């Protein structure tokens, strides 16, 4: 068993509320508010960029559906979907996940911040670098194809002299 606490939660399945072949959603073990959910990839992925595109897509689909369910299940008036990617961004565990945080008026959970002031020159440099980095968007990586199982043809009765019957039993 791995030392990753998220991987251990995934394997234990004690807090699991949804699971498929790529993704697990569970009640957050250290919630900021009641009803907080975490959506995590099954394979160990320390940061968001290490998650294959097919799994990222599934994570967001699951997060969207669970976010809808949070409104009715815990009486939320809104939700925050939060990805803390890397230590400077507040990531506490070495396994990437999406937190679904139920929100209510006056819940006193402060996720707001004041944007900093960036010089126009720094902003233009960042814009240029980001445009270069965005060149591969839309070129979704392909999941490695799974090997096909080879099926052996069934043995035919050679004694059968009727050609039409042989054709009905043949494997396409």
16 domain-assigned? yes
pLDDT given at position 77: 94
Are 4 and 95 contacting, i.e. CB atoms less than 8 angstroms apart?
Answer: yes
- Is residue 93 scored above 70 in pLDDT? yes
What is the CATH number for 28?
3.30.428.10
121 domain-assigned? no
Give the model confidence (pLDDT) of 18-51 as tens digits: 999 999 999 998 898 999 999 999 999 999 999 9
**C-alpha–C-alpha distance, residues 16 and 79, integer Å:** 20
For the chain, the domain total comes to 1
61 domain-assigned? yes
Give the model confidence (pLDDT) of 100-151 as tens digits: 999 999 888 887 777 788 888 999 999 999 998 888 787 766 656 666 666 6
99 domain-assigned? yes
80 domain-assigned? yes
Q: 58: part of which helix (H) or strand (E)?
A: helix 53-74
Strand 37-41 relative to strand 98-103, pairing: antiparallel
Q: Which domain holds residue 26?
A: 5-103
Which residues are CB-neighbours of 166 under 8 A, at least 6 positions away? 156, 160
DSSP calls for 62-85:
HHHHHHHHHHHHH--SEEEEE---
């Amino acid at each position: 068993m791995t030392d990753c606490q998220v991987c251990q939660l995934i394997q234990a399945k004690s807090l699991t509320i949804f699971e498929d072949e790529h993704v697990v959603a569970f009640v957050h073990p250290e919630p900021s508010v009641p009803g907080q959910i975490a959506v995590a990839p099954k394979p160990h992925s320390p940061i968001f960029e290490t998650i294959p595109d097919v799994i990222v897509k599934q994570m967001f689909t699951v997060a969207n559906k669970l976010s809808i369910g949070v409104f009715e299940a815990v009486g939320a008036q809104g939700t925050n979907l939060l990805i803390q990617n890397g230590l400077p961004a507040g990531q506490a565990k070495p396994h990437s996940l999406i937190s679904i945080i139920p929100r209510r008026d006056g819940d006193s959970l402060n996720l707001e911040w004041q944007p900093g002031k960036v010089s126009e020159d720094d902003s233009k440099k960042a814009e240029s670098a980001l445009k270069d980095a965005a060149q591969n968007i839309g070129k979704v990586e392909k999941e490695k194809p799974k090997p096909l199982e080879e099926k052996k043809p069934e043995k035919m009765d050679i004694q059968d002299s009727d050609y039409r019957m042989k054709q009905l039993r043949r494997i396409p």
